[in-house]
A and B are shown apart, each in its own frame.
Chain A
């Protein structure tokens, strides 16, 4: 039995209102970004003569090219390493059942609820002493470390679901275990690893607090971190500010629209497992 259309109207209105609420801020950014430069735009109003070249100007003043390169370097430094370390640890905890592994596991559990603010102050001094302040390498190391709790949890959950007989077939001394891991386990873990990489990409790209604290030069930061500097410089130019911010957001939105299904699935299972 289906409810009549009339009964559905209030619910439908509420649903549409929620959708509008979700996109309204982005739409008003777009409408402001297309107004003539130097004008004072008013709220949400489609310009009679949309100034698409604003985006070209904003690309230049927001230094989008170096920022893209910087963010890609950071992602390339963080994601593969974090995923590999997490897969290894997840294998050790979930499959090999290492004696004493529970201690590691409980310590990681703590890391899942830890706010970034809890470690940020000493991290600054720690990187300074290592000579890694203002370097991407420093930020990469910090991010890999901070992603470990979730990433290891994720991979451990995967390796727990793999039947243990797979391991028993192969020898378990050092080299044997490594071979088994590399050639038997990793290929089976590709779906879990792919979702993990998607999440790690998103988190690295959107890193804000660590980026603004640990890296002084905005062009060496993540896209999100560079936004702080850009906003500081262009806060009075509403048109360019919105155009530049949209450009800075665009890469994640594009990646999201391409991998939408995977993203949603990864985030849902990520949240439930975490």
Chain B
């Protein structure tokens, strides 16, 4: 995974909960990720999975990923090829899960300035987002070094495969 991510924005609001990301009825009945991902975000944007392109970005307001601990929520987002989720704030379990499966979850207080369809460049190592559509720069909350190491390894499982041990 690169620490520089460029992509088009799909813009969402506040409190996007895990049932909206992937409803429990699917999570509990479909274990195949290809099949499960077809239902991602469908209550908000019908056929989102067909419309989204690899490398696109999800940008949202406060409390993204609130609700259940289901790891399928970040998993379906990653499986669709979304490069990063950028939100004003995250629910804590979603944030941990995203890092642990290797999906960049980035806190940025200025997501209200970003619109649907904007082209962004995210630079994780230098800690900023450049809005290429509006020619604006936003600061991001740095990911703690220990977590960044898990993230750039591609998640906790890949970290263990790479280093032969857990980070702790």
A and B interact physically:
no
